[in-house]
Amino acid sequence: MKPGVFLTRALPTPVMHRLKTLFDLKYNLYDRPLTKPELMRGMRGRPALISMLSDPIDAEVIASNSRLKVIANYAVGYNNIDLKTAAALGIIVTNTPEVLTEATADLTWSLILSLARRVVEGDRLTRTGRWTGWNPTQLLGMNVSGKTLGIIGMGRIGQAVAQRAVGFGMRLIYHNRRRLPHRVEKRFRASYRPLPRLLAAADILSLHVPLTRETRHLIDRRAFNGMKRTALLINTARGPVVDEKALVRALKKGEIAGAGLDVFEEEPTVQKGLLTLPNVVLLPHLGSATVETRIRMGWMVIENIQAVLKGKPAPNAIR
């Protein structure tokens, strides 16, 4: 008999085929996140749950299924899961690191370039028929080459963003829990800075930290006060790393020049103040959204579930 798996959102077709071949798969047939009661009903009695970053997997959800052995999160971030409860109940939690690093770094750069070169504003002007011809002072942006990129969080994704910055001829400074080994710093021509000094020096600030108690509202009113008035903020990490209300205030007061956001504090809700500002680019959490990446994430989820159900160590268990 095939083991029972519950999947909270339909995944790309090749992944769905494989899941159906390997497991007794039950999944969410709606094109929306499940409610908590729907989720608990769906996963009942099944040893494996495939969850999305948008599913809060709290203590009540976890404890509702006494047969649960593995929660395979279809994301690299896992702040949506109550790890303590899972550990206490002996349930393995896994994620999908590495396979989405390049896609997320590319998306980060899409935001950097869109914002610095006012791509979205230009697109709007052109498609609404308001463009009256080439103009020497129209939609002037900012060069990225020669500027300073400040990265907070130099893990895999932070480093992939840094790698691209080398090609753009940027100066790189970073802040991280632990300073990187000298050879890694050398590879990116990166220098470590304490947070206040990094905030003060960055022309573009890009966030790549996980959401934890320590990083929640890391970029708050005080942080904005310490940044350059010409600085751009990019967030492809997790929304709550930035105090969104403070961000709206900083943008309105001209404390920073713009923001590119792929993530929000209360997804899918976006602070109203952000929607009307021209100097922001807003994306619907697209970091890993490429065909190749989302398929590879699917293979990873499958490998993790198979390992746990066979009593082997999961390759991507979160410890």
| Using rule CB under 6 A, residue 234 touches ligand DGY | no
| Using rule CB under 6 A, residue 114 touches ligand DGY | no
Residues binding ligand DGY: what is the number (CB under 6 A)?
9
Residue 304's contacts (CB-CB under 8 Å, 6 or more residues apart) are: 70, 72, 92, 94, 314, 315, 316, 317
Task: Name the minimum Å distance from CB 21 to ligand DGY.
Answer: 25
Using CA atoms, how far apart are residues 91 and 87, in angstroms rounded to an integer? 6
| Using rule CB under 6 A, residue 239 touches ligand DGY | no
Task: Name the minimum Å distance from CB 291 to ligand DGY.
Answer: 14
* 15, 25, 50, 53: residue in contact with ligand DGY (rule CB under 6 A): 53
Task: Name the minimum Å distance from CB 296 to ligand DGY.
Answer: 12
Closest residue (Cβ) to ligand DGY?
Answer: 287
Closer residue to ligand DGY in complex, CB, 118/294 = 294
Closer residue to ligand DGY in complex, CB, 33/226 = 33
Query: Scanning the structure block, which residue is given the tokens 């999961």?
Result: 314
Task: Name the minimum Å distance from CB 193 to ligand DGY.
Answer: 25
Closer residue to ligand DGY in complex, CB, 47/287 = 287
| Using rule CB under 6 A, residue 305 touches ligand DGY | no
Residue 192's contacts (CB-CB under 8 Å, 6 or more residues apart) are: 173, 174, 175, 176, 179, 180, 185
Closer residue to ligand DGY in complex, CB, 63/286 = 286
Q: Which residues are catalytic?
A: 238, 267, 285
Closer residue to ligand DGY in complex, CB, 271/288 = 288
- Residue ranges in 270-299 that form contacts with ligand DGY under rule CB under 6 A: 285, 287-288
| Using rule CB under 6 A, residue 15 touches ligand DGY | no
| Using rule CB under 6 A, residue 260 touches ligand DGY | no
Stretch that binds ligand DGY, among 11-19, 71-79, 84-92, 181-189 (CB under 6 A): 71-79
| Using rule CB under 6 A, residue 161 touches ligand DGY | no
- Residue ranges in 74-113 that form contacts with ligand DGY under rule CB under 6 A: 75-77, 100, 104
| Using rule CB under 6 A, residue 206 touches ligand DGY | no
Binding site for ligand DGY (CB under 6 A): 53, 75-77, 100, 104, 285, 287-288
